[in-house]
Amino acid sequence: MGSKQTVFTQEQLEAYQDCTFFTRKEIMRLFYRYQDLAPQLVPLDYTSCPAVKVPYELIGSMPELKDNPFRQRIAQVFSEDGDGHMTLDNFLDMFSVMSEMAPRDLKAYYAFKIYDFNDDDYICAWDLEQTVTRLTRGELSAEEVGLVCEKVLDEADGDHDGRLSLEDFQNMILRAPDFLSTFHIRI
Amino acid sequence: MWTVVMAQPLTLVLDVPETPGDQDPELSPYEESEVHDSFHQLIQEQSRWVAEEGLELQQVAGNLGALASGHQILLGAEGGPVYSTATLNILASMPSRTIGRSRGAIISQYYNRTVRMRRRSSRPPLGPVMCSARPSLRLYDLELDPAALQEEEKRSLLVKELQGLSAAQRDHMLRGMPLSLQEKRFLREKSRIPRGKQRGQQGCGRVFYCSRLRYTCALALHSLGLALLTRLHALKPWRYALKQIGGLFGSSVLSYFLFLKTLLAFNALLLLPLVAFLVAVQAAFPPEAHPVPRCTGLELLTGGGCFTHTVMYYGYYRNTMLNTPCSSPQCSPGAGSLPYNMPVAYLFTVGATFFITCITLVYSMSHSFGESYRVGSTKGVHAITVFCSWDYKVTQKWASRLQRDNIRTQLKELLAEWRLRRSPQSVCGRLRQVTVLALVWLLCLGVALGCAVAVLTFSEVTIQSPAAAGREAGLLVLPVVVCLLNLAAPYLFRGLATLEQHDSPVLEVYLAVCRNLILKMAILGVLCYHWLGRRVATLQDQCWEDFVGQELYRFLVMDFIFALLDSLFGELVWRLISERRLRRRKPEFDIARNVLDLIYGQTLTWLGVLFSPLLPAVQILRLLILFQVKKASLMANCQAPRRPWLASHMSTVFLTLLCFPAFLGAAIFLCYAVWQVKPSDTCGPFRSLDRMYEAGTVWKRHLEQGSPGAPWLSWLHWYLVENTFFLFLVSALLLAVIYLNIQVVKGQRKVICLLKEQIRNEGEDKIFLINRLHSVYERKERSRAGRAAEVATPALVPDAGDK
């Protein structure tokens, strides 16, 4: 069904369909969005699985991401080497996790990695400060930022070791029914 | 002579790097297992050593005391515990911390999960697997195994397990794994088995085959249902428009438009059976022709005129059997032999559509409630604000800036509230607040009562004054008055609400919604009394059902026109004024008022379905136009509300309001009309009966006479409908179930508190253990250094002795 396309082989398209939350049509649409970011770089034929990475600057200039204060972290988390340059697989993965059909735990896992700025698998006080500063455009005073971080650790840190682990984060997400609707990018 | 007391040489396996530059956060599974082994061994050695050298402990007890106190938690500058690098490395490689971290850990976790799924004898759950996604130490036996496997072997184990699952289950598992897409594709490719082998692998044993067959059937049905749903989602009307609105204004304004879409679905559900069973059938067999007046433009507003004797209203429907083979030559030949009992069809179709709507409403309400309510969800508001309030859908620069401002304001308000709570308000201030609140409530209730009385007197006036049949426009006066009251009173409520000061913006919104709701329900109640009480009495010899149907049509259309005017004047003109003269920001989009208007319109539709089967079509048209108009007005004139809403709670509240006052009221109205009011004698499908429901009893009697061997029908009718014992039983069961659920939730809250306490205790235990291990390790280090020094000095003495 659908028009004949020459970008992917049938197996590739089926594999993408089975491993992401997108349908065939949506995958093609996403591919053309990816291709539009760097038309000279991205070939129109992916049957031979070319190793092409779109640099972060172009990814960060997408309309869905360009006004997001966490766009750099999002790109870093989903890219292969953690530097923000994404292949097509990374691109599809990113939008699949951020789509509305992804389950809560999958989103919570990636949200944890996004907010962990120093990549040490814990959200420590420094990570929290970074998050709050980016959220408020630096308009809260340092004292207020510190106060907010302290209260967050108070509320969410279950074993009181001074930082949030993945379990603490997931516990907190369970109590926030809005998470599924806010951690969602429409494309 | 000298004796050297040498302790056993200790072989220390643990080699924890102390230099800070050596911290490698991404430990590979090799190192993890090594650390586990060596850690385990270290504990055993140390405990053995401590047990053997028990005497030494007493001697150095004094020193130890000093040491132990020195190793209490060193509080850093921020007040949190400060650990040495060695401790941090050990902490980081604890089993509960390595779950979900490295790829190997994820793979082994999912391997365990698929093993459990396959071992289960019953059918595995098809829906989203909630609790098993939480990482748990109990599943983690693969990592603690001393012969721990390499990542390659783990992957092959997982692949083997995935091969044993069905395709849909495997896909479901793969999609939910937090691995990269490349890894998932690799796993999928490896776990696909060719068709021939698959058939050979399945089905040894009859019993196994039967359960597999049943499971396959259920899975096929489930995938069919999912496929239907995805097709419906793919239809997705207004996908781009909703994306635009969400991007510019955020989730809270989007919830209004999503609610509009839901109402559209409900109306389509309502319309389909009505068109199929009533309108289409009656249109195929029209009754004797009435003199139809000429169509002027006015009937679009009044619903009368040339609309009167059409399928649109109750009066058109016949009260006989349609499609009967008739004897007179005027009958159309070629009619089918299946007679269609119109009165029974009318009654049952309207009843069935209401029943289906009720079930759908209650199901969506409970589903939405389950999604949005969590036990203990009011705590942790700071964490939730920081992590869950940034809406990733927002795409425009100025919208993003607005969102940042909103979050900053919210955080500032939370901090201010916390500071305020530390200094509680004085009794005088609190008393003042309560009095103001009570006063405002009294005023609002008074306004609502006044509006209701006004509508009542006005409706009496319209009955008393003879409205001649020619003056169709005179019929529009009552709807216009009601719409004006509905428009003006909310502004009055908003003005009164500025007198009271609330700390919580959500409370303000709920209060506004309550007051508007009370007003609308009061007015609707008065109107229902007016129609079923007074109009029926005065229109005894005419077709009062047609009149009521036309009234409801008029109300719908007038409400629509006023909504358009309100968008035009309330938002456009206000924006022009506020920009030019007052230099203030654009007006906010008032979500509560707009949603209540939608609910009001839907209530009118439900009230009118019995008297005008095509009214849902009018409502669908109304909603389609309203979507476009509201969207255009929003884009041009409004801005997002300054105080952010909890969008998920709001949609639950909207659905609850739709179900409880609105649908329930309409259902009560319908029941009263069917059970208590005498239908008119001159028109409609129930014209010869005393009450509308008698059509059902007449048909039942007819069936009994026709086939006397059906006593179950009368038995059913007697025990379920006439006898009230059944209803009492059902209500009692329902109340018992509700009570049990409330008790379960209370118990869950208690359990959560206990578990939190336990986690905190475990954390303290962990800190204690670390400190003890530190002290033991340090002591061992020191004694080893001491013994090395002792070994060095006696080495010189034997040389001297030998000489």
DSSP code per residue over B143-187: HH-TTPPPHHHHHHHHHHHHHTS-HHHHHHHHHHS-S-HHHHHHH
Check CB contact under 8 Å for B380 and A172: yes
Check CB contact under 8 Å for B387 and A119: no
Query: B339 pLDDT exceeds 70?
Result: yes
The DSSP H or E segment spanning B332 is: none
Check CB contact under 8 Å for B246 and A183: no
Chain A: closest CA distance from residue B375 (Å): 8
B629, B618, B592, B625: which is closest to B256 by C-alpha?
B592
Q: Looking at residues B782-789, what average pLDDT do you find?
A: 89
DSSP label of B426? P
Backbone angles phi, psi at B577, to 5 degrees: -60, -50
Q: B 176-205 residues with CB below 8 A of A?
A: 176-178, 180-182, 184-185, 188-189
> Looking at B64-68, B105-109, B447-451, which range is the least confident one?
B64-68
Q: What is the pLDDT of residues B202-215, one digit of tens each?
A: 444 555 567 667 76
Chain B: closest CA distance from residue A39 (Å): 23
What's the rounded Cα separation, in Å, for the pair B501 and B508?
Answer: 9
Query: B142 pLDDT exceeds 70?
Result: no
Residue B129 in contact with residue B177, Cβ under 8 Å? no
The percent of residues above 90 in pLDDT, for chain B, comes to: 18
> Looking at A141-145, B125-129, B630-634, which range is the least confident one?
B125-129
Chain A residues whose beta carbon lies within 8 Å of the beta carbon of residue B133: 103, 105
For residue B699, the model assigns a pLDDT of: 82
What's the rounded Cα separation, in Å, for the pair A141 and B761?
Answer: 35
Asked if B251 has any chain A CB less than 8 Å from its own CB, the reply is: yes
The DSSP H or E segment spanning B75 is: strand B74-75
What's the rounded Cα separation, in Å, for the pair A75 and A89?
Answer: 13
Average pLDDT, chain B: 75
Chain A: closest CA distance from residue B743 (Å): 20
What's the rounded Cα separation, in Å, for the pair B469 and B304?
Answer: 10
Distances (CA, A) of B159 to A187, B145, B163, B169, B640: 32, 20, 6, 13, 50
Q: What is the pLDDT of residues B469-512, one digit of tens each?
A: 446 677 888 899 999 999 889 888 888 888 887 766 667 777 88
Query: B521 pLDDT exceeds 70?
Result: yes
For residue B1, the model assigns a pLDDT of: 42
How big is chain A by its Cα radius of gyration, in Å? 19
Chain B: closest CA distance from residue A68 (Å): 7
A50 or B337: which leads in pLDDT: A50
Query: B61 pLDDT exceeds 50?
Result: no
Q: What is the pLDDT of residues B368-417, one digit of tens each?
A: 877 766 655 556 778 888 888 888 888 888 778 878 877 887 787 777 77
Query: B82 pLDDT exceeds 70?
Result: no
**Cβ count near B710 (within 10 Å):** 13
DSSP label of B321? E
Whose tokens are 């034929």? That residue is A45
For residue B617, the model assigns a pLDDT of: 94
pTM for this model (two decimals): 0.68
Query: B542 pLDDT exceeds 90?
Result: no
Mean pLDDT by 10 residues, chain A (187 residues): 73 89 91 92 87 91 90 92 90 92 89 91 90 85 89 85 86 81 86
Chain A residues whose beta carbon lies within 8 Å of the beta carbon of residue B383: 151-152, 155-156, 172
B523, B530, B562: which is closest to B461 by C-alpha?
B530
Task: Report the C-alpha dihedral over residues B571, B577, B580, B584, rounded to 10 degrees.
Answer: -70
What's the rounded Cα separation, in Å, for the pair B497 and B582?
Answer: 22
Chain B: closest CA distance from residue A40 (Å): 24
B771, B776, B770, B766: which is closest to B51 by C-alpha?
B776
Chain A: closest CA distance from residue B76 (Å): 11
Paired tokens of B41 = 């061994």
Interacting residues of B776 by C-beta distance below 8 A, sequence separation 6+: B46, B50
> Looking at B171-180, B289-298, B520-529, B734-743, which range is the least confident one?
B289-298
Check CB contact under 8 Å for A131 and B135: no
Interface test with A, best of B132, B375, B386 (most A CBs within 10 A): B386
Distances (CA, A) of B224 to B227, B229, B363: 5, 9, 21
Q: Looking at residues B12-31, what average pLDDT do you find?
A: 45
> Looking at B5-14, B237-246, B718-727, which range is the least confident one?
B5-14
Instruction: Identify any residues that bridge with B74 across adjacent strands, giving them in sequence order.
Output: B82
Within B611-677, residue ranges assigned H as helices are 615-637, 647-657, 664-676
Chain A residues whose beta carbon lies within 8 Å of the beta carbon of residue B128: 103
Paired tokens of B341 = 């009992």
**Chain A residue with Cα closest to B73:** A161
Residue B279 in contact with residue B614, Cβ under 8 Å? yes
B490, B710, B462: which is closest to B595 by C-alpha?
B490
Asked if B408 has any chain A CB less than 8 Å from its own CB, the reply is: yes
What's the rounded Cα separation, in Å, for the pair B334 and B336?
Answer: 6
For residue B227, the model assigns a pLDDT of: 66
Tell me the pLDDT band of B561, cut-offs 50, 70 and 90: very high
Q: What is the pLDDT of residues B156-202, one digit of tens each?
A: 777 877 787 777 778 888 888 888 888 888 888 888 765 444 444 44
* Pick from B380, B404, B646: CB nearest A155: B380
Query: B260 pLDDT exceeds 90?
Result: yes
Query: B127 pLDDT exceeds 70?
Result: no
> Looking at B25-34, B64-73, B195-204, which range is the least confident one?
B64-73
Distances (CA, A) of B615 to B271, B302, B337, B779: 8, 13, 31, 87
Report how many Cβ contacts below 8 Å link chain A to chain B. 214
Check CB contact under 8 Å for B646 and A166: no
Interacting residues of B505 by C-beta distance below 8 A, sequence separation 6+: B643
Give SS3 for B309. coil
For residue B237, the model assigns a pLDDT of: 67
Residue B56 in contact with residue B776, Cβ under 8 Å? no
Q: Looking at residues B417-444, what average pLDDT do you find?
A: 82
Chain B residues whose beta carbon lies within 8 Å of the beta carbon of residue A75: none
Chain A residues whose beta carbon lies within 8 Å of the beta carbon of residue B234: 23, 25
How many alpha carbons fall within 13 Å on the CB side of residue B21? 0
A14 or B425: which leads in pLDDT: A14
Q: What is the pLDDT of residues B340-373, one digit of tens each?
A: 888 888 899 999 999 999 999 988 888 887 776 6
What's the rounded Cα separation, in Å, for the pair B455 and B226?
Answer: 49
The percent of residues above 70 in pLDDT, for chain B, comes to: 68
Tell me the pLDDT band of B89, cut-offs 50, 70 and 90: low
Look at the alpha carbons of B125, B128, B133, B134 in this order and tell me if their dihedral is positive or negative.
negative
Chain A: closest CA distance from residue B511 (Å): 22
Within B380-476, residue ranges assigned H as helices are 381-388, 397-422, 427-464
What's the rounded Cα separation, in Å, for the pair B123 and B7?
Answer: 62
Q: A 119-178 residues with CB below 8 A of B?
A: 119-121, 125, 128, 131-132, 135-137, 139-140, 144, 147-148, 151-152, 154-156, 158-163, 165-167, 169-170, 172-178
Instruction: Identify any residues that bridge with A54 across adjacent strands, giving them in sequence order.
Output: A86
Paired tokens of B69 = 């106190």
For residue B597, the model assigns a pLDDT of: 92
Check CB contact under 8 Å for A162 and B80: yes
The DSSP H or E segment spanning B81 is: strand B81-82
For residue B16, the model assigns a pLDDT of: 47
Tell me the pLDDT band of B46, cut-offs 50, 70 and 90: low
B129, B114, B117, B148: which is closest to B33 by C-alpha?
B148
Output the CA angle A134-B407-A132, nearest 5 degrees: 30
For β-strands B81-82 and B321-322, DSSP reports them as unpaired
Check CB contact under 8 Å for B411 and A167: no
B353, B351, B347, B345: which is closest to B268 by C-alpha?
B353
Asked if A81 has any chain B CB less than 8 Å from its own CB, the reply is: no
List the end-to-end C-alpha distance of chain A, in Å, as a whole number: 23
Check CB contact under 8 Å for A23 and B230: yes
For residue A173, the model assigns a pLDDT of: 86
- Greatest mean pLDDT range, B40-49, B127-136, B251-260, B643-652: B251-260
For residue B377, the model assigns a pLDDT of: 56
Q: B 672-711 residues with CB below 8 A of A?
A: none
For residue B27, the model assigns a pLDDT of: 46
Q: B 351-380 residues with CB below 8 A of A?
A: 371-374, 376-377, 379-380
Check CB contact under 8 Å for A128 and B386: yes
Check CB contact under 8 Å for A184 and B393: yes
**Chain A residue with Cα closest to B651:** A178
Query: B670 pLDDT exceeds 70?
Result: yes
For residue B334, the model assigns a pLDDT of: 46
Complete DSSP assignment for B333-355: TT--S--EEHHHHHHHHHHHHHH
How big is chain B by its Cα radius of gyration, in Å? 38
Residue B625 in contact with residue B563, Cβ under 8 Å? no
What's the rounded Cα separation, in Å, for the pair B484 and B255?
Answer: 27
Q: A 3-42 residues with CB below 8 A of B?
A: 15-16, 18-21, 23, 25
For residue A187, the model assigns a pLDDT of: 82
Whose tokens are 């005179």? That residue is B474
Chain B residues whose beta carbon lies within 8 Å of the beta carbon of residue A28: none
Tell me the pLDDT band of B589, cut-offs 50, 70 and 90: confident
Backbone angles phi, psi at A8, to 5 degrees: -120, 160
Q: Looking at residues B313-320, what average pLDDT do you find?
A: 81
Please report the ipTM that was assigned to this predicted complex. 0.90
What's the rounded Cα separation, in Å, for the pair B159 and B191?
Answer: 5
> Looking at A69-78, A85-94, B132-141, B631-640, which range is the least confident one?
B132-141
* Pick from B178, B374, B760: CB nearest A106: B178
For residue B534, the model assigns a pLDDT of: 85
How many alpha carbons fall within 13 Å on the CB side of residue B681? 2
Chain A residues whose beta carbon lies within 8 Å of the beta carbon of residue B389: 135, 178, 182
